[in-house]
Structure 1
């Protein structure tokens, strides 16, 4: 995960907005060149290599560099069989994300919109430079497959009895507790403690209980490889293996786990199943 301080964002954002309106092959102005010097080097210029030692696994190497396995697999196609060759070298990026080839004349804003990341964070991760043929998109999990259908066509319910204000949205956000930019894998919906939390679609309870930073968590597996997660609950009203219908009460809003807002809220996630596990996608509420 890339974490940038709030002060860094304030420095980068005005410059980022300037470049977002230019064509990909436009030459930067003198002001842009001056400000660019305060940015870190582009992530793709900071790739390193790791020589595989006997007994190492993809997961162990990823942990060594504070990465997830999906990041290593995305940068190293030879790992997609799940096998490591002792003595071979693999590419290590500086933080989690993917390398993508972009069409000509794409702007940073267009790329950010496509991958659902903050344009200013994307801009800084690429050295505050004009868009090139290959760019690094931070915080996006590499996956060999994409959902065949949209979540909105399958998960038609709402996780609370009534529409609620969003305390923190999906994607790259500023954590109000730390002032750092973090990737938020769901949405936080403000609601009083004790408010009923309900399934957005029919499914089977895959998990119900306490789960670290999620606090009290309910996970529901739905049709076509979709999953929803309901976190920070006060009370859990279902059990693992139970079949639930859309609108069925799963528990109540609480304040358990590690929360990004002091106000009571439901942390709600939508994920899809891939060969790398359950990958987060933006909820459509």
Structure 2
């Protein structure tokens, strides 16, 4: 074979090596394939009320008038009553930037930083003066997570159960595309006025014990694309020309150096 033919084959081989990088597309690929693994759940934490949360708060008791007073004017049947509710309760309470809600009769109540159960206990302490044996229910109305980047269906999702893992969030978004970096998933979280960013390696089973495995309300999950996807997404012909020229120049310099060294 002529030197020109050998050089062409060498160029093709070099380009092929650069373009073919082995990737691991398997989640938790280090799990034992035979025995499996078991983990004590330590990363699950109950969500805490934050500023800008929307809370649904309902109060029921044996007194129908009290129920009406503390439920936006909508009559809720007393305990044991056969009365039906004539209208749904649509009232929600916005947690302001200082962590307070404005509740009927009582006024300002600070709930920021409380879990739901802690908030229920606090509300019970305040309502006992007006309602005998109140039963209080609190729910997040805007518990949502956002999944963007290299997924099939990027979107924001409202979570009615108020509990979701990063895997479940990716499932809602249709899972990652083949170009998504499973070893470098970014979770952005705001808590107590501080924004944090943490990266998860979903090829590694240790993620199951991460504090970011269970998502909190308003978390953002960003799946970063591989560089090959970024290059494909760039439609600027100048970019391709620059990359092609640089690669060609590098190969020519390598061949010249090799010929000079072997001659």
Above 0.5 in TM-score?
Answer: no
* TM-score, length basis structure 1: 0.23
Q: Mark the structure with the bigger radius of gyration.
A: 2
